[in-house]
């Protein structure tokens, strides 16, 4: 099996993502971070994972008035800028975006965010307690990449976010929603002749059941896409 290199963007729970991917054979990991000033390392990567974490500054999607709904102590504009540049350089690489990764990619393609789900009429999607993710059902749309990957119409996923996608970015399409209408997944609207792109609002890397189709299948689909892309 040929070795592949996966770039994973830095965050406070970076090692959860690293362990999740490193558990598979023939994989090297590169941490991508503005702290390392290593944007050039993308040239060594065969695939990219955009991780969760900080709120994204609403100025990035031209809604600075939304700042009052954000956790301002949890905004890192240097990270926003660095990962924006990561996306600019990944047009030929498979990308898996998780939680904040979905939100940043949606903004990158011209979309916007709901800055706080509860304040904007949605149910609570944050953790039940500081250490425990919330779990709820998600509905998968037919004729989507996510449906092909999971072979499911409905299932249970974990949840730990207070922001979510609002207006969908150009070229993207919704592949999953929660009961209250929160966007739980995005992908290419027309995937032909494009690199793999799957964006999920949940955290497959830390689901209690790592054999879940919403964790294991997503990881394998991403890694398969990476290997296929380098052949």
Element (H, E) at 17: helix 14-22
3-state SS assignment for residue 77: helix
Annotated active-site residue 136? The verdict is no
Tokens of 56: 């994204």
Report the C-alpha dihedral over residues 66, 70, 72, 73, rounded to 10 degrees.
-170
Please answer whether residues 140 and 150 qualify as being in contact, where contact means their C-beta atoms are separated by less than 8 angstroms: yes
Tokens of 78: 């240097």
Q: Which of 57, 136, 162, 203 is catalytic?
A: 203
Q: Which of 99, 125, 162, 187 is catalytic?
A: 99
HSE, side-chain direction, 13 A CA sphere, residue 4: 23
C-alpha R_g of the chain: 16
Annotated active-site residue 99? The verdict is yes
Identify which of 188, 206, 205, 207 has the alpha carbon closest to the alpha carbon of residue 197.
Answer: 188
Identify which of 123, 122, 176 has the alpha carbon closest to the alpha carbon of residue 150.
Answer: 176
| Residues classed as catalytic | 99, 203, 205
């Amino acid at each position: 099996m040929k070795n592949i290199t996966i770039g994973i963007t830095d965050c406070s729970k970076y090692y959860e993502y690293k362990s999740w991917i490193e558990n598979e054979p023939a994989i090297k990991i590169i941490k991508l971070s503005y702290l390392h000033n290593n944007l050039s390392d993308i040239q060594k990567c065969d695939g990219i994972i955009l991780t969760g974490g900080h709120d994204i500054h609403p100025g990035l999607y031209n809604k600075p008035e939304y700042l009052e709904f954000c956790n301002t102590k949890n905004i890192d504009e240097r990270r926003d800028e660095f990962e924006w540049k990561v996306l600019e350089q990944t047009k030929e690489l498979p990308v898996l975006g998780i939680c904040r990764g979905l939100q940043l990619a949606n903004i990158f393609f011209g979309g916007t965010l709901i800055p706080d789900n509860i304040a904007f009429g949605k149910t609570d999607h944050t953790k039940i307690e500081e250490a425990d993710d919330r779990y709820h059902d998600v509905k998968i749309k037919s004729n989507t990449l996510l449906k092909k990957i999971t072979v499911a119409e409905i299932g249970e996923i974990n949840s730990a976010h207070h922001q979510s996608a609002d207006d969908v970015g150009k070229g993207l399409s919704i592949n999953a929603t929660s009961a209250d209408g929160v966007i739980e997944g995005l992908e290419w609207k027309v995937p032909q002749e494009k690199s793999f792109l799957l964006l999920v609002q949940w955290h497959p890397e830390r689901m209690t059941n790592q054999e879940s189709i919403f964790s294991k299948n997503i990881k394998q689909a991403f890694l398969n896409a990476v290997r296929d892309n380098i052949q």
